[in-house]
């Protein structure tokens, strides 16, 4: 019975949790590993789920904590970046896309917490304001206001620096 419930939980939320972790890690292999560990922990500690939030929100909170733990471990070891060239685009287009993306991410990086994380969860993680509020232990309205302030701050930074 419990195994059947675990299977349904996995099937219902795998892609949502995986997508959330991908927005955090930007690394497919790491996102897959963290997602698997998230479900392992959730299924082995089902009693810890108190029903105070949505199951997806609970799973994303576990995933976020696992991601942060992994990030702390990685900060101790400096990784060697690996990039595969995109042969479908011309060199000029790849450079322009990468440069533009880099500038936007630089502006995003200058945002203070919790603005940056709320913005990333909303845009890249595609989470609802209710889910974001739950992750932070705040209200849906808090998440909504924080997201809109983050958007304004990001736009200011982009305008200030000519990005």
Predicted pLDDT of residue 153: 86
What's the pLDDT at 84?
A: 47
What is the model's pLDDT at position 13? 83
Q: Which of 16, 119, 30, 117 has its CA nearest to residue 66? A: 30
Token pair belonging to 53: 């939030």
Residues 18 and 66 in one domain: yes
Residues 95 and 116 in one domain: yes
Domain count of the chain?
A: 2
Query: Which parts of the chain register pLDDT below 50?
Result: 1, 79-82, 84-85, 87
- Among 50, 81, 112, which residue terminates a domain? 81
Give yes or no: residues 74 and 100 share one domain. Answer: no
Angle, alpha carbons 151-156-162 (nearest 5°): 125
Give the chain's radius of gyration (CA, Å).
18
Confidence (pLDDT) at 157: 81
| CA distances to 16, 74, 92 from 22, in Å | 10, 16, 27
Which of these three, 81, 101, 124, is where a domain ends?
81
For position 156, what pLDDT does the model report? 83
Can you give the residue range of the structural domain that contains 153?
A: 90-163
pLDDT digits 0-9 by tens, 109-145: 788 888 888 888 888 788 888 989 999 999 989 999 9
HEC string of the chain equals CHHHHHHHHHHHHHHHHHHHHHHHHCCHHHHHHHHHHHHHHHHHCHHHCCCCCCHHHHHHHHHHHHHHHHHHHHHHCCCCCCCCCCCCCCHHHHHHHHHHHHHHHHHHHCCCCCHHHHHHHHHCCCCCHHHHHHHHCCCHHHHHHHHHHHHHHHHHHHHHCCC
- Regarding whether 148 and 77 lie in a shared domain, the answer is no
Same domain membership, residue 76 and residue 95: no
Residues 75 and 95 in one domain: no
Shared-domain flag, residues 119 and 45: no
Residues 73 and 101 in one domain: no
- pLDDT of 81: 47
Among 81, 103, 118, give the residue marking a domain's end: 81
What is the CATH classification number for the domain harbouring 31?
1.10.1740.10
At 1 the pLDDT is 42
Q: What is the pLDDT of residue 3?
A: 58
Same domain, 105 and 35: no
């Amino acid at each position: 019975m419990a195994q059947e419930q675990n299977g349904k939980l996995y099937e219902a939320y795998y892609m949502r949790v995986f997508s959330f972790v991908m927005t955090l890690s930007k690394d497919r292999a790491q996102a897959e590993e963290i997602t698997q560990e998230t479900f392992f922990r959730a299924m082995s500690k089902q009693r810890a789920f108190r029903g105070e939030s949505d199951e997806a929100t609970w799973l994303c909170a576990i995933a976020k904590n696992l991601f942060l733990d992994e990030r702390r471990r990685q900060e101790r070891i400096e990784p060697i970046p690996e990039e595969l060239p995109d042969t479908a685009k011309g060199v000029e287009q790849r450079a322009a896309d990468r440069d533009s993306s880099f500038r936007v991410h630089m502006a995003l990086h200058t945002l203070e917490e919790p603005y940056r994380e709320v913005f990333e969860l909303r845009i890249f993680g595609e989470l609802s304001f209710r889910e974001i509020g739950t992750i932070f232990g705040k209200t849906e309205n808090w998440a909504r206001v924080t997201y809109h302030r983050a958007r304004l701050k990001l736009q200011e930074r982009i305008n200030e620096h000519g990005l």
